[in-house]
Amino acid sequence: MQEKEDFDWKAHGLMDDEELKQIDKNIKRTEEEGLKNILKYFDRIHDKLFMVNNILIAGFFALSKIESSTSVKTILIPITNMMFLIYIEYRMMEKSRYESEITKQPIEGFEEHGKSVTRTNLYSLLTIFTTLTVTSFFLYYLISS
């Protein structure tokens, strides 16, 4: 047994236990930062989607006042999208609320929480497409006026 403990890993070009622990620690820190960044980027994307949607609400409203052939009811298109964006923000808040007390949560709920997070991520992706669709409607109404 003494021979194994005295083995010089570095002399053979290999990493010792301390270096492996440091690498593992760095990988875990990178993973934690990556998870934080995902939420940060979701928030940034949602902020931009809200901004674009607000512009579209104003645009639809202005278009309906400028062009009599465009109904004021078209403003419901971006308002519906806004409600969807608010729903996504609510889901993200609930995710954070759950995770803020993660140590108090029953283990049985972890799988459902994971599914919920995945659905929220898919909904977030969907909001990008719905906002693009609303923008397309606006451009259509703008061009056809």
Number of domains in the chain: 1
pLDDT value for 5: 64
pLDDT at position 1, please? 47
> Is residue 32 situated within a structural domain?
yes
Asked whether residue 77 is domain-assigned, the answer is yes
- pLDDT score at 41: 83
Range of the domain at 37: 15-144
CB-based contacts of 15, cutoff 8 Å, min separation 6 = 9, 23
Residue 5 lies in a domain: no
Domain assignment of residue 7, yes or no: no
pLDDT at 4: 55
CA 90 to chain centre: 12
DSSP secondary structure, 45-81, as one string? HHHHHHHHHHHHHHHHHHHHHH-TTS-GGGGHHHHHH
Q: Is 10 within a domain? A: no
> pTM to 2 decimals?
0.71
Query: Do the domain assignments include residue 4?
Result: no
**pLDDT per position in the chain (145 positions), as tens?**
445 567 776 777 777 778 778 888 888 888 778 777 777 888 888 899 999 999 999 999 999 888 888 888 888 999 999 999 999 989 888 888 888 888 888 888 888 888 888 888 888 889 999 999 999 999 998 888 7
**Within a domain: residue 76?**
yes
